[in-house]
Amino acid sequence: MGGGFRTWMAVVVAAVVAALNVHHVAAQPQVPCYFIFGDSLVDNGNNNNIESLARANYFPYGIDFPGGPTGRFSNGKTTVDELAELLGFEDYIPPYATARGQDVLRGVNYASAAAGIRQETGGLLGARIDFTEQVNNYKNTVAQIVDIFGNQDEASKYLGKCIYSIGVGSNDYLNNYFMPLYYTTARQYSPEQYADALIQQYSVQVKTLYEFGARKFVLTGVGQIGCSPYELAQNSPDGSTCVSRINEADQIFNNRLRSLVDNFNTDLRVARFIYIDVYGIFQDLMDNPSDFGFRVTNAACCGLGRNNGQLRCLPMQVPCLDRNDYLFWDAFHPSEAANIIIARRSYNAEKGSDAYPYDINRLAQAQL
């Protein structure tokens, strides 16, 4: 009887181990790593310890995030946090400022609040890590990964399976082109010329990422800056009508960026590029807010003054209690509820225009 019991227990243990192994395999992310480049929309702590006014490592930022204030410009998750979950990662991608050792193998977030494509963008807010410098930081990460693998070929194979998300350009309009008292770009360039100049510089950095192993690219368009609580407070006659001259400039840039996806998919055949139409997704949220659970679309949950449209939440300020009802968390940044919707539609496109030529889910599965 004792021998039979032991045999039965061995079978049970083997079954449990097998089940755990199956669960472990099922829990593997779709891609081995996820690299993120961008600005405050996706910064998760890189600005915390630099001399910058563009910081969010204090309450009430993070009020709905498990880790509290981390440097995220949101009440909770950002779009890339949600995307990391959708891709199957067990934890969020670490910021470059704190990523160490084996952590870099699952990806790094290089984003920096106030950063732009142009080096001078966001300078009024102090230190920031522009797109070019973010790419240079990625080069340092690649050197670490090569050391971990022990040779360049294995590291390149690994990196070629990863997702590279780029979301820059908003600050080049908000904290550059549309600040004529501080920057000369609006006098130097028409909106079309400025978009061309931005895309040309953007292209150089994307090609550098390609040269350093990147193969699966997500190029995220600029959102409707002219509909942010800040711009509504400053430039909208009724506090609800979006500022058309800003949104029109955004759309010019986005059209160039979408065309860039076509160009890269033609010229760089061993890579895949997709475009995410955040502008269009945001339009849906504003046109049909109740369909998505939003009640307030023209004012921030946290802020002061008209539309609660000041630059950012003040330390220890008490935000609105019904945060999921608000499209915007502060004067510039979407709420966690909005970020989740944008991320989910980027991952699994609900409309044909959400992602071009296909969504992030398909990109993750693409065989190169």
- Residue-wise DSSP of 60-86: TTTTTSTT--SSBSSSS--HHHHHHHH
Catalytic residue numbers, as ranges: 40, 330, 333
Residue type, 153: D
Cβ(61)–Cβ(73) below 8 Å: yes
The number of helix segments (H) and strand segments (E) in the chain equals 12, 7
End-to-end CA distance of the chain: 57
Let me know: does 178 contact 246? Beta carbons within 8 Å.
yes
The one-letter amino acid at 271: A
Residues with Cβ within 8 Å of residue 126, at least 6 apart in sequence: 50, 51, 52, 53, 54, 114
Contact at 8 Å (CB) between 30 and 365? yes
Using CA atoms, how far apart are residues 184 and 195, in angstroms rounded to an integer?
Answer: 15
**In the chain, where does DSSP find H-type helix?**
2-26, 79-86, 131-149, 152-159, 170-172, 185-188, 191-211, 229-235, 244-267, 278-287, 336-347, 360-365
